A and B are shown apart, each in its own frame.
Chain A
């Protein structure tokens, strides 16, 4: 059984650019959620995908968008990057929502300069 893998592990982008982060969910999991974690803060929920459909979204602007693919892997896209977007982006997967808790990946550290 593989865990959740995220790529890349680190990324540096310039303000105004666009970025795509990737996540492979744990085998057998059909739900993926994304979180933004600023330094010293708890994770903030961005959105969740269940069977390729977004079924929950946190307080993030539309320039944060996502996709879930038929194999349940997922992408997080952020357009028009701002300095405040610098954070650790975490992906988590689970089976059938939240009944058994989430398995997190190690995250992608995004730095916007």
Chain B
């Protein structure tokens, strides 16, 4: 069964600090892995997308890494800002014609001043 597990479930940090969110997956066959940021009550917004041949991708203060061998990914946020408070969702894509993505449950990040 395809699964995506994210940790921690929630995280509270102080403004300006760094943090790392984790994603482990068992999706097979693997096509790509994406990180989304979702503000409360809004739709997810794409941060990064990586295929199996990429092991790192940056988008401003967000850096995602991928280890396709261990089926692990991380999202590192540098110099956090109050606006980073959101849910971060890891989504893993399979391959094939009838594709269905597998979503993690998300990590809720709260950044305090």
Contacts and interface: CB of A to CB of B under 8 A. Distances in A.
Interface of A: 4, 6, 33, 35, 40-45, 48, 55-56, 58, 88, 90, 92, 97-107, 109
Interface stretch (B13-21, B60-68, B71-79, B96-104): B96-104
Given A42-B104, A106-B42, 8 more contacts: A4-B43, A41-B105, A56-B100, A90-B43, A98-B99, A98-B101, A100-B49, A102-B46
Contacts of B94: 98
Interface of B: 31-32, 34, 36, 41-46, 49, 89, 93-94, 97-101, 103-106, 108
A103 B47 CA distance: 11
A100 B46 CA distance: 11
B103 A45 contact: yes
Contacts of B89: 42-43
A42 B32 CA distance: 18
Contact of A101 (B32, B42, B104, B105): B32
Nearest to A100: B49
A6 B100 CA distance: 21
What are the 3 tightest A-B residue pairs by CB atom distance, in nearest-first order?
A: A104-B43, A42-B105, A98-B93
Contacts of A41: 105-106
